[in-house]
Structure 1
Amino acid sequence: MAIVTDYLKNEETYPLFLDGDSLDILKSFPDESVDCCITSPPYWGKRQYENGGIGLEKKYTEYIDNLLAIISEVRRVLKPSGAFWLNIGDSYKNKNLLGIPWRVALRMMDDGWHLRNDVIWYKHKGGLSPSKDRFGSVYEDFFFFVKSDKYYFDADAIRTKPREAKVQNGAVVSATGVSGIRYKRQIELSTDLNENEKENAMNALNAVLERISNGEISDFRMVIRNVQRTTHSDSEKVSGRAKELKEKGFYFLFYNPKGTMPSDVWDIIPEDSQKRSEHYAPYPEELCVYPIKATCPPDGVVLDPFSGTGTTAKVAYDLGRKSIGIDMSKVYNELALNRICRK
């Protein structure tokens, strides 16, 4: 498709929307031509969208097969450094939760995808549950896949700003209130450290406090033999920290001075669907921010093969990235264009 090739060469970041079936359109894309794919396909048996499409199959197994055929094309058009973010909800049949998200994810892993995270999208407010014999559903899976073990990821772009260390009553205090006084007392009173180990531990602790005072680091934790619980494992075979603790009697854990990484649980309120008459998915803009900042280079291209009203494309445009959206509905693509043009 010449229009796709021309767009990829163009430096303009305005989104490109294509009308038609995702599988057919993706087959016309050049190999390894996009940097990141973020999408939320229609869930099985949930809604009737304009022009039909995937999600209306009689059997959920057919739905999974059809979805994986499209995902296979996504894998082909992704660059080796590319990432694929898949938001997908589950469905019930005959009182059984079908486990569709994980059925899809496991099939993808068998096909060669690397699953880096299952991010839990906690939606705060779920719809009123009509069921009287099960709990309400307030989360969805948001899978983070990559094509290879060497992929683009800009961690610094999504870190939260760290709190700063300070001097309090003449003592250096870390961002979370660690002054070192307690650690010094624990070293002095330890019956598990010999005198040489105590001296080394005290010198190392003073050096760390000096680094905090100089602004090189903002926070730390100290683990002292038989005082604090070791991290991860006590076995030296599986933990380098355990080996360090045995040989030295202590070790440090340092926090990144640029801030902390987001966790794999994201509290994001669904988009308000009550004010939209043409499209009903709750897929919110905020859900796309971390993925685009972290896994799409500033000059990269974001793909959404189920673009709906253009949420992915809008966020990509706001963040200065190019994007391509595909949807069977020309009406939805027009809504997406109008949504972004309103800016």
Structure 2
Amino acid sequence: MPDRSVHSVITSPPYWRKRRYLPTDHPDADKEIGQEPSPGEFLATLLSITDELWRVVRDDGTIWVNLGDTAAGSGGAGGDYNEGGDRAGQNRWKAASWPTDGMAAERGFPLRKSTCWIPELFGASLAYGRNLLTGDPCRQWVVRPKVTWCKPRVTPGQCDDRFRTATELIVWAAKRRDYYFDAAAIAQERADSGNRTRAGPGPRPGGRGRGPPGGPPRQPNHQGLRSRPATRGCHRSTGGSSTRPATTAPTSPRSRPS
């Protein structure tokens, strides 16, 4: 793809040690994203992809990457298993492939049953310009506040000693601080008045108060996105039946993000 030709990338790569999309005897089975032998190597794969995205995304563009996590030592095929415990055509990872507790830290693994925290590590690695598990450098992005996808219908399955996972993380990042962001297009009506709440006068880059390249200047507006009155400066815009990402937004100049 040509350099700087894409406005935005929205993607959800395979999660680590969750599913196999190719038969195990396929010659390219080991090249699938998500089949890496360790969390650090999986993170390296994701960061190599975002390094390439840096080339094709415009300077005012953004990337949005949805990632789910993995419980250490378990793996699985996505949750909706057949009677034998496997999803059709997909193999479960065996706990035997996980290092013993005494070797986990030395080999770069969490203890069995621990959450791997891969989505958070991915976002933090983009922010710091370094694979936080291996130390290898990568492109440094402007990482914006995380977006939480709240799922009203969660995957069924056995859950005896933890809360059922009903959210996934969306990592949102830009190449520079004055990225393009049309907040007015996603404004919601306020429940208290019925008036449409606008987060700005129109499309503008995030946090800079300017319109699209070549356009007229925009006046900043600090009204936050919300579906009911905000308290103490911010409000999570989620509801019991909503599938919109949960986020927070400023409601005064003093709480405006940088």
Q: TM-score category by the smaller chain?
A: 0.5 to 0.7
Alignment of 1:1-343 (within 5 A): 29-50=1-22, 52=29, 53-93=32-72, 94-111=112-129, 112-162=140-190, 175=193, 256=223, 260=225
Q: 2:193, 2:128 → 1: CA distance?
A: 44
Classify 1:81/1:261 alpha carbon distance in 2 versus 1 (closer, same or farther; 3 Å): farther
Q: Name whichever structure is richer in helix by fraction.
A: 1
Q: 1:46, 1:139 → 2: CA distance?
A: 16
Q: Which runs of 5+ in 1 are unaligned?
A: 1-28, 164-173, 177-214, 219-253, 271-283, 288-343
Structure 1 counterpart of 2:95 = none
TM-score w.r.t. structure 1 length?
A: 0.41
Classify 1:145/1:261 alpha carbon distance in 2 versus 1 (closer, same or farther; 3 Å): farther
Q: 1:130, 1:136 → 2: CA distance?
A: 9
Q: CA deviation at 1:142?
A: 1.0
**Identical pairs, percent:** 31
Q: Name whichever structure is richer in strand by fraction.
A: 1
Contact 2:225 2:237 in 1 (8 A): no
Say which SS state the counterpart of residue 74 (structure 1) adopts: helix
Task: Describe the superposition over 1:87-108 as per-residue Cα deviations: whole angstroms up to 9, x where unpaired.
Answer: 0000011111000001111111
Classify 1:40/1:128 alpha carbon distance in 2 versus 1 (closer, same or farther; 3 Å): same
The count of residues paired between Structure 1 and Structure 2 equals 160
Q: Which runs of 5+ in 2 are unaligned?
A: 23-27, 73-111, 130-139, 198-220, 228-234, 246-258
Structure 2 counterpart of 1:3 = none
Q: CA deviation at 1:264?
A: 5.8
Q: Which has the larger radius of gyration?
A: 1
Q: CA deviation at 1:123?
A: 0.5
Structure 2 counterpart of 1:9 = none
Classify 1:128/1:97 alpha carbon distance in 2 versus 1 (closer, same or farther; 3 Å): same
CA RMSD of aligned residues (A): 3.4
Task: Describe the superposition over 1:294-337 as per-residue Cα deviations: whole angstroms up to 9, x where unpaired.
Answer: xxxxxxxxxxxxxxxxxxxxxxxxxxxxxxxxxxxxxxxxxxxx
Classify 1:157/1:79 alpha carbon distance in 2 versus 1 (closer, same or farther; 3 Å): same
Task: Describe the superposition over 1:7-54 as per-residue Cα deviations: whole angstroms up to 9, x where unpaired.
Answer: xxxxxxxxxxxxxxxxxxxxxx22211110100000001111146410
Structure 2 counterpart of 1:319 = none
Say which SS state the counterpart of residue 92 (structure 1) adopts: coil
Q: CA deviation at 1:133?
A: 1.9
Paired letter, 1:126: V
Taking CA–CA contacts closer than 8 Å with sequence separation of 6 or more, which of the two structures ends up with the larger relative contact order?
Answer: 1
Classify 1:264/1:70 alpha carbon distance in 2 versus 1 (closer, same or farther; 3 Å): farther
